[in-house]
């Protein structure tokens, strides 16, 4: 195909020479129109209407969303219109450590149950989210009376039909007559970890048992001055960082004067049992609050 151009077209801007007749050729091989060394594509170029139609029909790319509920309380979440399945992490609150008095030691708090998995949801439907608090610490007073108290049980966390009960509180010292406290039971599919037994009294000092974790039971201390370890927790990287949840609290240590260490917030782990000397009283550690994490993909910018 040959296209004829008008005579007298100025092709030399600098010397103002005028051509008699310029001919440009359409190149069938390259599908380009060649003129004055430049190439302009006339075929296979989308029209404005075609481009607009393509932009309107192109589906936006999905974005991964991670929602983390850390505050204790009850909340609601509305599933986006294009979400029918989510990945979840639900952790119950850990139990508080037991209090101690007069040479004894409190047991460590049990772990809140950790549940993970995938759950089908209905698009645009609202779902309930509950984050459970950790159990309060057990206390002991400095007098000659057996006034120590056990740690409180942690509260359950939940998302929709998925519920994770809290861990049992650690037992106070002298919960059994003298000797060393036994470790708490491992968490089950439906219960949190068991609280460690308290140990010792003025005539027979003893350390408290460790609280039960999600992966193992709490241990029993067999060495004077050595804390009984709580049961191990489980790791999850749903948030993008590997974190351990739901470990049992350590037992208190005989004849040492220390309040128990509280578990980290949003860990679901048990608090440590109290350690005390003769005629003194100390408190256990508070259990770690629970957490709920939801992970899903959606094309919507907001939830």
* Most distant pair of Cα atoms in the chain: their distance: 122
Is 256's pLDDT higher than 60? yes
Q: Which residues of 49-82 are buried (b: 16+ CB within 10 A; e: fewer)?
A: eeeeeeeeeeeeeeeebeeebeebeeeebebbee
Q: What is the pTM of this model?
A: 0.78
Dist CA 107 CA 26 (whole Å) = 90
pLDDT range class, residue 223, cuts 50, 70, 90: confident
129-151 per-position pLDDT tens digit = 999 999 999 998 876 666 789 99
Domain ranges of the chain: 2-55, 63-303
Strands 281-282 and 38-41: unpaired
Q: Give the pLDDT score at 201.
A: 64
Q: Give the pLDDT score at 38.
A: 41
Q: Give the pLDDT score at 139.
A: 93
Query: Is the Cβ–Cβ distance between 154 and 132 less than 8 Å?
Result: yes
Look up residue 119 and give its two tokens: 């759950």
What percent of the chain is predicted at pLDDT more than 90?
61
Look up residue 218 and give its two tokens: 């709490």
Dist CA 192 CA 287 (whole Å) = 12
174-209 per-position pLDDT tens digit = 776 556 788 999 999 999 999 998 887 666 778 899
């Amino acid at each position: 195909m040959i296209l004829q151009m008008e005579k007298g077209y100025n092709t030399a801007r600098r010397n103002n020479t005028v051509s008699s007749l310029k001919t440009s050729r359409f190149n069938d091989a390259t599908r380009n129109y060649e003129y004055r060394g430049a190439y302009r594509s006339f075929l296979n170029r989308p029209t404005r209407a075609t481009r607009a139609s393509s932009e309107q029909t192109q589906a936006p790319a999905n974005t991964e969303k991670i929602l983390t509920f850390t505050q204790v309380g009850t909340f609601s979440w509305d599933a986006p219109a294009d979400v029918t399945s989510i990945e979840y992490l639900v952790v119950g609150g850990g139990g508080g450590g037991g209090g101690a008095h007069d040479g004894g030691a409190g047991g460590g708090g049990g772990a809140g149950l950790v549940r993970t998995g995938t759950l089908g949801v209905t698009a645009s439907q609202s779902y309930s989210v509950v984050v459970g608090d950790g159990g309060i610490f057990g206390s002991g007073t400095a007098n000659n009376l057996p006034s120590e108290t056990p740690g409180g049980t942690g509260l359950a966390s939940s998302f929709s039909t998925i519920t994770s009960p809290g861990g049992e509180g650690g037992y106070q010292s002298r919960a059994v007559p003298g000797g060393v406290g036994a470790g708490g039971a491992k968490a089950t599919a439906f219960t949190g970890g068991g609280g460690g037994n308290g140990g010792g009294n003025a005539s027979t000092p003893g350390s408290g048992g460790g609280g039960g974790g999600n992966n193992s039971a709490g241990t029993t201390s067999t060495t004077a001055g050595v804390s009984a370890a709580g049961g191990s927790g489980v790791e999850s990287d749903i948030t993008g960082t590997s974190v351990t949840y739901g470990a049992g609290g350590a037992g208190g240590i005989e004849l040492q004067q220390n309040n128990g260490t509280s578990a980290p917030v949003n860990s679901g782990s048990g608090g440590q049992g109290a350690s005390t000397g003769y005629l003194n009283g100390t408190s256990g550690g508070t259990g770690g609050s629970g957490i709920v994490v939801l992970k899903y993909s959606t094309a919507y910018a907001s939830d």
